[in-house]
Structure formats: C-alpha cells, structure tokens
Structure 1
C-alpha cells in the first residue's frame, strides 16, 4: 500500500511540474485530479477540475467529477470537524478534570447571528 501511495504522490509531483511549464495542460490537470482523489485529497481534486473548466467550460468529464467529488469532500470535512471537536473535548475534560469538572456539565448553544457556540 505504501508503495502505491508513493507512486500516486509521484504522479501528483510530475503533473505539477508539467503544469508549471504549461498551466493550461488539461491532461495533466485530469491526471493530477485523479491522483488527488485516490489520495482522498478531494478539495485539491475539485480545484484541478475547476481549473479545467476555466480552460474549457464545456469539459463534461470535469463537470461530472466535480459533482461526484463535492459530496466526498463535504463528508471528509465533516469527519475531520468531528474528530477535531472530539480531541478538543478530550483536552478540555483533561484540564477540567483536575478541578473535578467536565465539559459534559456545560451546554454549547449556537448563536444564530454569528454561528459561533456560546
């Protein structure tokens, strides 16, 4: 598996080099986007597909890929957010535990005006 990841990473690097020489090289953008997808770097894959659409707005492959990748990117963002909140909660409980307290004793309420929890 590590060997495959290395080959995919190399593909991203090679395509990036080609794009430095010719930023409008659609084939390199497609290949780099596909490599990013295999690495689960969905945001980067979407960015490459959007660059293709800047060059060729009628590129059906890029349009289809964006539609397919956006839910995957959203799911990954949500998962990362949940993991981060869990780690922050654990850290908070670790600190508060020294005082006999827990974050479970507090309730966060989202401010409808700012979107922040208070």
Structure 2
C-alpha cells in the first residue's frame, strides 16, 4: 500500500483473508486499497465486515457514513457517460434516415425510475 501498488495490496489482503476470515487488519488495508482505486462498493463491503468483527472500529464507522454518497455519485456519473455513448450510437444509426436522437424525448418515471421515449419532429 505504501508503494501505491493497490492492486497487489488487494490481492495480498484477499489471500490473508482467505487464510483467516477474521483478520481485521487485512480487511482494513483492503478497504483502504479499494477506496484508493475508487472501488467504493467493495470498500463499503469490507468496512461493514470490519464492523461485524469490531463494532467499535472508528474508521469503519465513519466510512459506512461517508461512502454511500460517493457510490451514488459514481453511479450517476457512469449512467450519464453510458447514456452519452448510447446517444452517439443512436445518432450513427439514425443518420441515414435523416433523424437523430434529438427527435426523441426521454422522460423518467419518478416511481419506477424507468424511461418513456416519445417521438417528436
């Protein structure tokens, strides 16, 4: 970890946990490495496991509060990026027909979080 070789640290900590599933320090180091590589879901899972083993662990308590907004922010960013790529692909397919994705209006349903697509000229 000190050499910032986080992938190797994750691998080493995972092996240590495999050998001893109650090895608190390995979970903590792996959680730190996951956070450094922006793998927040895995990081949160390790911090939750730490709290199962030691409910008084201060860093884990703070992390369980701090990480969910980061996870949500990252997921929103990925969603916007994916929608942008889908829009580019859609424009490439629609171009021969004289259309673009701007001819379609997407509305998100607040209850189901799904999308409705309407055609407009």
Q: Any runs of at least 4 consecutive aligned residues in structure 1 with deviations exceeding 3 A, and if so which?
A: none
Using the TM superposition, give the Cα deviation of residue 108 of structure 1 relative to its aligned residue in structure 2, in angstroms.
1.2
Runs of 5+ unmatched residues, structure 2: 117-121
Confirm or deny that 1:86 pairs with 2:88: no
| 1:113 CA displacement | 4.3
**Aligned mates of 2:9, 2:111 — CA distance in 1:** 45
Distance, in Å, in 2 between the alignment partners of 1:27 and 1:13 is 14
Q: Structure 1 or 2: larger helix share?
A: 1
Q: What are the ranges of 5 or more consecutive residues in structure 1 without an aligned counterpart? A: none
Moved more, 93-102 or 59-68: 59-68
Aligned to 2:58: 60
Deviation for aligned residue 1:69 = 2.1
Q: Structure 1, residues 80-103: CA drift from partner, whole Å, max 9, x if none?
A: 111001001111111011211011
Match of 1:97 among 67, 78, 95: 95
1:1-118 paired onto structure 2 within 5 Å:
7-118=5-116
Partner SS state of residue 49, structure 1: helix
Structure with bigger strand share is 2
Residue 114 of structure 1, CA deviation: 2.5
- Alpha-carbon distance in structure 1 between the residues aligned to 2:109 and 2:69: 27
TM-score by length of 1: 0.88
CA RMSD of aligned residues (A): 1.4
- Seen in structure 2, the aligned counterparts of structure 1 residues 112 and 64 have a Cα distance that, compared at 3 Å, is closer
Corresponding residue for 2:119?
none
Alpha-carbon separation, structure 2, partners of 1:72 and 1:114: 23
